[in-house]
A and B are shown apart, each in its own frame.
Chain A
Amino acid sequence: MTGSLQLVPLLRRYGTFLGFLLIVSFFWSQRPDTFMTTRNWLNITQQVSILCVISFTMTLVMVGGDFDLSVGSMASLSGMIAAVLWQQEVRLFGALGAAVIVGAFGGVFNGVLVAYAGLSAFVATLGTLTIFSGLALLVSDGKTIFGRAIPEIVGDFSRGGIPLAEGIQLPNLTLIAISVLILMGIVLQHTVFGRNLHAVGGNREASLLAGVPVARLRLIAFAFNGVGAAIAGLMLVSRLSSANPTQGDGLMLNAIASVFVGMTMSEEGEPNLFGTLTGVLILGVLSNGLTQLRIDTYVQQILTGLIIIAAVLFSRLSLRKR
């Protein structure tokens, strides 16, 4: 009896992760030759790396009780800024730096609107989504930039990595995602900023009364997210060897979905990095596995949506029962 009582909170906390393991086991059993291979898993980590970066920094914003709809268009804008600068023969790192600075400015702009001007995160970032999207089209004149305009080293970067064995390497994009995960983990768990941000997300009024600089913390979280979106945008340019003014737009919904799925892995339903990572991996593994099983892509979308809803619903129900 005691054992079963102990099992309930464990299931509640790790139910989503168990679900992830079940999904992995299912694909493994169905495609034993190709799914559970080092090459395929490195493939998956590379495929989800861009979403990882944007979702990890989005987790930071959501820990503070906000969210950001503009990350996808910021990723497009940052990538476009770098590509346009390369086209004008600006040096490699100059263009990369400019793109990251644009991301930081965009994040700060979001932060000012939400934390200081008092706009709701939904309205403010919906507005900036449109602004960043328009800016991306404006700077590129609506065109896709590709070919010689993109330095060869940029495209080569996403194809490179640390060699692990013959023909197998840990992709550079995966390494960036791991670095951002570690950095965000340190920021959230081992800094005063991170601990205070948790307090702000938990109870904003109480944090204010306790003297926590709520507005500043929220602004910094948005700035981190802007930089994360910019890095993701640059990774996207590297992966596609081209920059398109709308290529990052699809990232936003998947990032929010990943954080929401990850929230089911916390006792209090709070955003957390391990949960977000699990959420991203669920999306990545589903896409990879269902493609390998030759499931219709539209059925894939329906299944992915159903699994997200099921995970969040399961968590809600178990919280209510508690």
Chain B
Amino acid sequence: MRWNLFIFTGILLLALPQFLFAQSRTVAVLTPFLAQPGTQLMVEGFEATAKSKGWQVDVIDTSGDVAALVSRMEDVALQKVDAMVINVDPSQIRNGLLAAKDAEIPVFGMDSGADPLLTANVTSNGYVMAAETATYLVDQLNGKGNVVMFIFEPYPPVQKRGAIAESIFNNEPDINIMEKITPSFDRGPLEGARNAMEAVLTANPAKGSIQAVWAAWDDPALGAEQAIRDAGREDEGIVIVGIDATEQARDRIAARGNLKATVAQDFTGIANTVANTVEQYLQSGSVSRSQIYVSAKLVTADDL
């Protein structure tokens, strides 16, 4: 009897891992932007939710190299993972998406753009976020003043933000866009924006010559604020706004300096929604919508 019990327990112990393995899903998360705070939050959020679902998550970061990301997608497609999650502009990785399609692996966008080759994309509405910060700025300036814009055209989701903010400023007759700057990424966008803002401040030394800085994301907003502080012009009332509500930006807004507002993308909410959408697809073979928006919220010092 005891031997039977031993044998039965042994079989169970041997079979259990196989049973668990058979149930577990493998999802690859691929991005060239893991160094960005927003991407980090989303990837960490996705990993946490995926862990609670018992999935194995492989995170692949190609450090800014989009061509390498396509290669890694091809490699992952050969591995027959259950799903891929990407955080990159899908229009630049068409070959990777086609490799996944050939291998019949669904691909989900996590704050990517919309693309027919994606099963679904979960994101914040970039147009709404840009409009929130641009109108906040117009209100703070009472519709009058010189604005420096930090934009980034190569990445479509961020390019959209700049386009909306620009059209809002252009619609205000007394708002003047004095500079549109794409910060250099050589030493990070924060440092690039700081250097560029130093140059703008040097070129416009008169007090009150700059009323506001609008940044398409938080890093250049923080860089601009540092440049204004270092130039000793923090008391001129220059209003800065950013987007993404990173920890650093929240700290600076709470300190009630020049950085007045940002928009909190709900990165954890995006990550959770992606994980739930992946789960829905793996269970039913379809998703309810291919473009899913998660709400974002304007954050000012009063909220912190």
Contacts and interface: CB of A to CB of B under 8 A. Distances in A.
Do A and B form a real pair?
Answer: yes
A236 interface: yes
B289 interface: no
Interface residues of A, number: 37
Given A50-B67, A292-B78, A242 B91 contact: yes
B62 A159 contact: no
Interface of B: 58-68, 70-72, 74-76, 78-79, 89, 91-95, 98, 152-156, 159, 182, 185
Nearest to B56: A294
A244 B94 contact: no
A39 B74 CA distance: 10
Interface of A: 34, 37, 39-40, 43, 46-47, 50, 137, 141-144, 146-147, 155, 158-159, 236, 239-242, 244-247, 250, 287-288, 291-292, 294, 296-298, 301
A296 B67 CA distance: 18
A249 B156 CA distance: 20
A291 B60 CA distance: 8
The 10 A-B pairs at the shortest CB distance, nearest first, are namely A146-B91, A241-B94, A47-B71, A291-B75, A142-B153, A143-B153, A242-B92, A250-B65, A144-B154, A297-B61
A241 B91 contact: yes
A43 B96 CA distance: 11
A255 to B, nearest CB: 13
B67 A142 contact: no
Contact of A40 (B63, B78, B92): B78
B93 A240 contact: yes
Given A142-B154, A143-B153, A294-B58, A240 B66 contact: yes
Contact of A287 (B71, B152, B156): B71
Contact of B98 (A47, A50, A159, A287): A159
Given A39-B78, A242-B92, A143 B159 contact: yes
Contacts of A143: 153-154, 159
Given A142-B154, A240-B67, A240-B70, A34 B92 contact: no
Nearest to A248: B67
A240 B79 CA distance: 22
Contacts of A39: 78
Contacts of B63: 297, 301
A155 B286 CA distance: 28
B92 A240 contact: yes
A288 B71 contact: yes
B75 A240 contact: no
Nearest to B76: A291
